[in-house]
Structure formats: structure tokens, C-alpha cells
Chains A and B, each alone.
Chain A
């Protein structure tokens, strides 16, 4: 186990900058998730930590040791790839023990370590099979087994659940989290799925365009996103945004005036973005009018698309309500959960 530190890490391909100086501290035993949309540089950053990509500038430290110029094999890391990268011509047992074999470990110890890992992951009955004879979930477990068998300082996961169906993804998510809780090995996990990030991480790093947008605990990011990008990325259904102007009377959006969370904001008198999560609308006769466009009952909740002034927004209501398209309801934004962002740059204002 070890801490991982990235200091002003940069990556360029020719004149094109891909990673723009990332600073990140990952504590010993922490589970950190790098999340962001496709092309944001999260996989590149992980591969730089692994040593599969060179870095253009900055320092990467693993366990206090600068590893910038070390080969992947000398960094004491293990990596799980998106498509598992199991050696097709080797059995499960050989796949799992392969790295130990090349590090001069004795056969007896390899057998013992493979058995230990197989027991943890429920693979004991599959050790003689080839990867082609396994299901997607089993392959994923073998890939994890190959990583843990070596007892590395850091685990790196590169979108390991992307190739699984939705149901299996939920199961494997739990297994990876459980494995981390058992082994307490420092883990860096890359995903584009914000639900995965929220449910698994001790700490989330949100990336966009090769820059860190925000680092924090999952609920901190959810409750107090630093900017409009993070606010829109974290949470499902996504946060609603209304463009308008802050006035002393409230937030003037097209066709409607909404209450502000903090009266002192009224003095700002500037263009801004009003952010509200779908579950933060409350049905209230004293609220603002909203015309229902679409009703989607989900069982545990009802998702409603409605017109607030001239802007379409989504609301999620826990209570069983009878709503129909075309009707007008009255909703009140939960003022404690309103986010105000600057119209230019999207930085949080409240």
C-alpha cells in the first residue's frame, strides 16, 4: 500500500496539450475515482500513473518515490483493463500466476497466492479453464485476481465494468468495493459513469478537457459542486439549469421569477445560472406555476418534465401524485439546495 502524488503532471502530443498540469494527492488505502466525459483525459492520466504513457512534465510519486522514468513493472502497480486483457492461450491459473512467474517467485508460492486470490474471488472451480470458456463477469474477476495476486502497492482500474451488462455491472461494482474494503490497497479507478463514481469512491476527481474541475468526497461534489460542469455531470437525472439575471426581487429567468437562496445575492445584479436538482422541487400551492409536459412514473418516484416559465426542467417527486400532461402544478424550489453559477465561466457564486 502507498500514497500516490501527482504534481503538475502534463501530457502533450506535439503541440496539443492533453493533460494541463494535474495536481492530486491520493492517501494510502484510499479509493479514488477519476470521472469525466469521453476524451477528458482520465484514461491517459491513469496510464501515465501506470507507466504506459510517458509524461511531458511534472512528477508522479508512488510511495514517496518518483516513478516518472520507471517501467510499469518497476512501479509495483497492477492494472485491470477495460477489455480484461487476459492472455487467451493461458488458463485462469496461469493468467493469475503469470506476473509472479516472471518475478522469480517459487512455484509453491505461486500456487498458494493463486489459490488465495481465487478463493477471495470465487474462482477456485475455474482455474483450469481458458478465458474463452468464461462469462464476462468471470473474466472480470480473473482480471482482478491477476491484479491482487501480486499484492501491489496500487491498483489501477481502467473502466473495468464498461463491457458488462447493467445488472452484472451493479454486482461487480459491489465486488470491487468489497475487495477494496478487504485489502485496503490504494486504488485509482477510471470511469465515465458518475453513478459508479458516486457509489464506489472515497474521493472523486472530476476531469474535463484535461483539467481537474473538482476533487472531493462524493456527497460534497453532489451538494456543493464547484462549477456548472461538475453540477451537470454529477447526479442523475442531471441538474436543471435556468439562465437569467439576479435581481433584488429574485432570479429572473425567461417567463418566471424564482426565489434566491440567499437575499444578499440580490445585490449582485448580474447574469447567472440557476441550478436545481430534480428532487429539490417541492409540490406546494404557494409555489411557482409549472406546466406539465411529460410524466414518467418509475414506481418508487415519478419523473416529471415541466415548463418553468419558458425553460423545460425535470422534477422528481417521491410522493404518488396524479399528474397529467397539459395540467399546471405549483412547485417550490428547496432554497437550501439551490446552486447559483456565474453565466461566464460557470463558477459557483453561493
Chain B
């Protein structure tokens, strides 16, 4: 039921939304407009909200200074593999915790959840040692394996488990009577019904992997293996100072796919948030 607001309430509400627009939209606006400004205009006073002079060469320089296409591909395929891998692992683990009775299931689930309480900064050094011994440093394996089997996947497992717990048990019992075994019940009944939860897991996992920063700078050392967040830090001049407009052009290109995905999948994104119980 829609509540009818009085004109005064409407004015207040729109006013509040305009104020909130500033912290939410301004950084993106500044990033996009500054990416086509000469550096001097970026720091001009009073600030130029709309560029006076356009310098489109910043976008070509993004690709000239670094193997940006390769880095784009690195980020894209790592995020895709991590997303698919996490969806598989978390849906199966979540289903097992929700539906299969085995000894100490709840205790094991609690222990698994504890993984969420450990900051990634704490585990990064032992993980580095492990991957060093396995000969996987300066490869993409750590960026794929850690999220799929580590703490990020624990969160997804939690989301999936909470979903599967709510599925009516009669559906599975009907499937048992219909002749399905445990795995087929999971694949044919539970999984297709878990699409909303899987969508939220996919969105969050993709974003997490796409934005991952600490792990790439620890595990990767060659430019052609870099992912986008790490590559952004490399647009510096001879003195290590940031080349602001080029860096912001690269940042715009980095944010672009996420923005497009968000605009297309806005509904699923909001539903996903509702599903996880997270606040934006």
C-alpha cells in the first residue's frame, strides 16, 4: 500500500534526497569529468564541475602506459572464475549444512563461520608462505583459490544455507518419492529454486573479486599479471606522483562494467541485499 505524503513531507523528502545525492553521486561525477580534464583544471579554484577544456588523450595514455587490456582481461576472468567457483562451492556447502544431517553439523558450521571474523590482513602472510612453497606466487591461483575456499566463500555459504533452510522439506520428500537421490534433489529441485540467493552470491562475489586490492599487491609482481585495482596505482610519473587525469580515466574504465551491471541488474542487486540482510 502506498502512503500518500503531504506536499510538505514530499518537499522535505526530496530535499533530503538532494542532500544525500552529493556524497553518493559527486565522487563518480568528479572521477568521470576529471578524467578528461588537463591536470591544472582538476586543481583549479573555484573547482570546475563541468570541464572547460577536454583532453581525451588521457584514455589513449591509459593503454599506452600499461598493458591495460591484459589487466582488464585478468580482472574479468579471475572475477568470473571466482564467481562461478564460489557459486558451486557455497551452494553445495550451504545445502549440506541446511539439509543433510551429519554429526556436529551445527558445530562445524559455527567453526566455518568463524572464518568471517578473521581479517584478511591477518592471514595474508601465512597464505603468502603457503603459495610461495607451492610455487604459485606471481600467478593468479591465489586470487582464485583464496576467495573460492576462504572467507569470502564462507559468507556465500551462509547466504545459501539460510536460503535452503527456508525451502519446504515437502518438496524434497516429494522428489524422494518421485525417485530422486540426494544429488539430483539438489540439482533438479533445490538449486533451480535458489536462483535469487545465487544471484545475490554472484553479485557480491563478482564485486568482491573485481575490487580486490590487498591480495593482488601481495601475490603479483609483474605488470602483465596485475588486476585493475592494482594497475590503477601504477599510473605515476617519474617521481612517483600520481598522474591524476590518466589514473581517473583508468578508474572510470575500471568502474564502467560494474556500473553497467548494476544498472542492468538493479532489481536483483536490491533483492540480493534484502536476501543477505546486509545494509548498503
Binding site for B on A (CB under 8 A): 50-52, 71-73, 77-79, 81-83, 85-89, 98-99, 102-103, 146
Contact = CB atoms under 8 A, between A and B. Distances in A.
B168 A71 contact: no
B168 A83 contact: yes
Interface residues of B, number: 15
A71 B176 contact: yes
A89 B178 contact: no
Interface in B165-209: 168, 170-171, 173-180, 184, 189, 192-193
Contacts of B176: 51-52, 71-73
Contacts of B184: 102
Contact of B178 (A52, A83, A88, A99): A99
B168 A85 contact: yes
A149 to B, nearest CB: 10
B17 to A, nearest CB: 35
Contacts of B171: 85, 87
A234 to B, nearest CB: 29
Contacts of B189: 87
Nearest to A99: B178
Contacts, number: 50
B174 A73 contact: no
Contacts of B180: 73, 102
A52 B179 contact: no
Given A82-B170, A99-B178, 11 more contacts: A50-B173, A50-B177, A71-B176, A72-B177, A73-B176, A81-B170, A83-B168, A83-B170, A89-B193, A102-B180, A102-B184
Contacts of B178: 73, 98-99, 102, 146
A246 to B, nearest CB: 50
Contacts of A102: 178-180, 184
Nearest to A78: B177
Nearest to A89: B192
Nearest to B172: A85
A23 to B, nearest CB: 25
B15 to A, nearest CB: 41
Contacts of A82: 170
A81 B174 contact: yes
Nearest to A77: B177
Residue picked from A71, A81, A86, most chain B C-beta under 10 Å: A81
Contacts of A77: 177
A111 to B, nearest CB: 17
A103 to B, nearest CB: 6
Contact of A79 (B168, B174, B179, B192): B174
